[in-house]
Amino acid sequence: MKTEVRKQFAKHFGQDKGSVYASPGRVNLIGEHTDYNGGFVFPGAIDKGMIAEIRPNGTDKVKAYAIDLDESVEFGLTEADAPKEQWARYIFGVCREMNKRGVDVKGFDTAFSGDVPLGAGMSSSAALESTYAFAINELFGENKIDKFELAKVGQATEHNYVGVNCGIMDQFASIFGKEGSLIRLDCRSLEYEYFPFDPKGYKLVLLDSVVKHELASSAYNKRRESCETAVAAIQKKHPNVEFLRDCTMEMLNEAKADINDEDYMRSEYVIEEIQRVLDVSDALKKGDYETVGQKMYETHHGMSKLYEVSCDELDYLNDCAKKCGVTGSRVMGGGFGGCTINLVKDELYSDFITTTKKAFKDKFGKEPKVYDVVIGDGARKLA
């Protein structure tokens, strides 16, 4: 991919070489919709992501070429110059957010390409944001912005330029990823711990429902609002509560009269999910993958029935996993489409994949895509 990016950059912007940067997408073992509730998540960077070549061009304009879409866009660096194209808004947003943090971002030429499937719940957008945040920090900011803030630049880009009120998980994983390790992150304090992940005898595999979740941002924002509304009701009696992270089911039940049924269900899921991440951490330390898997199924159930971010295709993939004796399976990421993540014993792997592909095709007329998970490094300079 790097060679192709170099080639396309030279074709569009001339032979003078720029610098090349890469950032990955992510998986998440467990802890979904917990990040913006101040809770825990368990992501890892993957071996798929975005690569960009960038060269300052001495002007105040950015000229960007999206190789995979074969589209070029030019934009300036002030708020008034925001591009209309969605993909270019990510780059523009990162420039603006870096600027707000004191980096004097100047014009540059850039071409980029990616191999994270778009809209599949593997955070292609975080990969794009992290690539440019990392690059701009180095090219225009003398690396004065630390890695935590770089992750927040990506998150703020989503909030302020894309319209998704996301948490910090995806950008954090994309910046802090480490080959072979998952990261347990406390999304309130941003304390994190690397967990070497090499489950002997098991594979981690994603099955992509090929339902794109691209139009899900308003539903995502609505879930977040439900959580915040519930917190506001709980705060009446417990003023020190800041997030659902601070709440028990008892506290939620005390406030039940002030919380509508939907917001109650959403909050119940989140409170339980935060605990599941802690349970999985303990189980992983003991090498107890049966418990890890059981928690994954519980998460799927909660995401499907309480948080209501699954869909028929994902529920079906989850059922197939159960029938095939897969240790753990659940919808991964924000939901509304995308992938299930599956923890499967080596000896069941090929039967699971073959059976599920066929059954899914018979039911929905298309095959799910299969991605074996390889845990890779976070944002970096390649050349």
Which helix H or strand E contains 218, and what residues bound it?
Answer: helix 217-235
The answer to the question of residue 208 lying near ligand GLA (CB under 6 A) is no
The answer to the question of residue 49 lying near ligand GLA (CB under 6 A) is no
Query: CB count, 10 Å around CB of 164?
Result: 17
The answer to the question of residue 89 lying near ligand GLA (CB under 6 A) is no
Q: Which of 35, 109, 170, 263 is flagged as catalytic?
A: 170
- Determine the size of the site formed for ligand GLA (CB under 6 A): 11
* In the complex, least distance from residue 343 CB atom to ligand GLA, rounded to whole angstroms: 18
Cα separation of 327 and 343, whole Å?
A: 6
* In the complex, least distance from residue 167 CB atom to ligand GLA, rounded to whole angstroms: 3
**Residue 110 corresponds to which tokens in the numbers above?**
């850039």
* In the complex, least distance from residue 333 CB atom to ligand GLA, rounded to whole angstroms: 5
List, as one string, the DSSP characters of 34-99: -GGGT-EE-EEEEEEEEEEEEEE-SSSEEEEEETTTTEEEEEESSGGG--SSHHHHHHHHHHHHHH
The answer to the question of residue 170 lying near ligand GLA (CB under 6 A) is yes
The answer to whether 244 and 37 have CB atoms below 8 angstroms apart is yes
Cα separation of 306 and 309, whole Å?
A: 9
The answer to the question of residue 273 lying near ligand GLA (CB under 6 A) is no
| Long-range contact pairs involving 144-150 (C-beta distance under 8 Å, separation at least 24) | 144/102, 144/103, 145/98, 145/101, 145/103, 147/175, 147/176, 148/190, 149/101, 150/175, 150/379
The answer to the question of residue 114 lying near ligand GLA (CB under 6 A) is no
The answer to the question of residue 169 lying near ligand GLA (CB under 6 A) is yes
Does the annotation mark 170 as catalytic? yes
Per-residue contact flags (x/-) with ligand GLA for residues 224 to 263, judged by CB under 6 A = ----------------------------------------
The answer to the question of residue 33 lying near ligand GLA (CB under 6 A) is yes
Stretch that binds ligand GLA, among 32-40, 85-93, 230-238, 239-247 (CB under 6 A): 32-40
Instruction: Name which position in 44, 302, 333, 368 contacts ligand GLA (CB under 6 A).
Output: 333
Cα separation of 23 and 136, whole Å?
A: 13
Give residues in contact with ligand GLA (CB under 6 A): 32-33, 35-36, 123, 166-167, 169-170, 333-334
Active site residues: 170
